[in-house]
Amino acid sequence: MALVELPVDAGRSPVLREGPGAFALAVGPDGARRVHAFYYRPSTLHARSPVLLVLPGAGRNAWTYRDHWIEAADAHGVLVVALHYPEREYPDFWSYNLAGMLADVQIDTAARTLADYTIVDDRQRWLFDDLDAVFAAVVRGSGLETTRYDLFGHSAGGQLLHRFALFADADTRADRIVAANSGWYTVPERDARFPYGLADAPITDAQLATAFSRRLVVLLGEEDNAGERRGELVRNPQADRQGTHRLARGQYFHHQAAQAARAMDTPLHWTLDIVPGVGHDAQAMAQAAAHLLYP
């Protein structure tokens, strides 16, 4: 599907009519960023219906990811909104997977790793606040009374969302966060340099405790292992410390979070869920997430 450039109607919320549709929204400081949204409004929508925001993988094909959720949306009255960050504006993994938290990035192409970069200090330049802004707009545009929203991200979108769980503001309206089949993680360990770990990361112990209190589900495909060839898997010493495939890396991420929470004597509300018989399959993982979120 070729993306049609959608006009931004500044200062107004989009009107979300029944069925599939799309809109663009100006977000960020002074509306400097643009995010496209592909939504599905079921006929079963009611005033307190759930709202689900979906973050696609590296292909940024939000329209496909939206369609993966139509059956669940109809069955459970869920308003589904899949976000599209155009590659021409967000071309690199640090501008999407890492939510714009890095700048001045230099890549060691031989080692396939980050050679040098700076951490963006201005939190408003990160993408995380966009999600609350989109939620507020769709609630107004659809007449809902819903006060919180759920999140699902797959692959690159899962990377963005587990980092959202770590670094989003304490007052976010996000409720349940499902990060599925992420390629690699920002692991809660202080001896690995950010963005692979939390050394030099812009997060305090108090903020990390808040992150651990969020309802994050690390959703992994049982067959997203060494034999999986779909999707691009980054291999370098920093990522391979987490494991050599996505299943192992997700398990490592959750295990290290549990250890960090115990060391801090704070509860961990993150859970790990492995989907049997599924590899790096966005649609199958969406179906599994639908059963978790809307049983």
Please give the C-alpha separations between residue 121 and each of 90, 114, 129, 187, in angstroms, as whole numbers. Answer: 18, 18, 14, 20
pLDDT of residue 111: 74
pLDDT at 3 over 60: no
Cα angle, residue 154 at apex, residues 105 and 99 outer, rounded to 5°: 30
pLDDT of residue 113: 85
- Taking only the tens place, the pLDDT of each residue in 136-171 is 999 999 999 999 999 999 999 999 999 999 999 999
User: How would residue 11 be classed by pLDDT, with cut points 50, 70 and 90?
Assistant: very low
Percent of the chain having pLDDT more than 90?
87
- Taking only the tens place, the pLDDT of each residue in 27-76 is 988 888 889 999 999 999 999 999 999 999 999 999 999 999 999 999 99
Mean of pLDDT values over 272-278: 98
- Could you give all domains of the chain from N- to C-terminal order, each with its CATH number? 19-293 (3.40.50.1820)
pLDDT of residue 12: 59
pLDDT of residue 7: 52
pLDDT of residue 214: 98
Mean of pLDDT values over 262-288: 98
Distance separating the N- and C-terminal Cα atoms of the chain: 31
pLDDT of residue 32: 86
Q: Which amino acid is at 228?
A: E
Instruction: Check: CB of residue 23 under 8 Å from CB of residue 120.
Output: no
Of residues 30, 34, 133, 31, the one with CA closest to residue 85: 34
Whether a cis peptide bond, with omega within 30° of 0, leads into 267 is no
C-alpha 162/C-alpha 187 separation (Å) is 10
Which residues have a Cβ under 8 Å from the Cβ of 263 and sit 6 or more positions away?
none
The DSSP secondary-structure symbol of 37 reads E
pTM summary value: 0.94
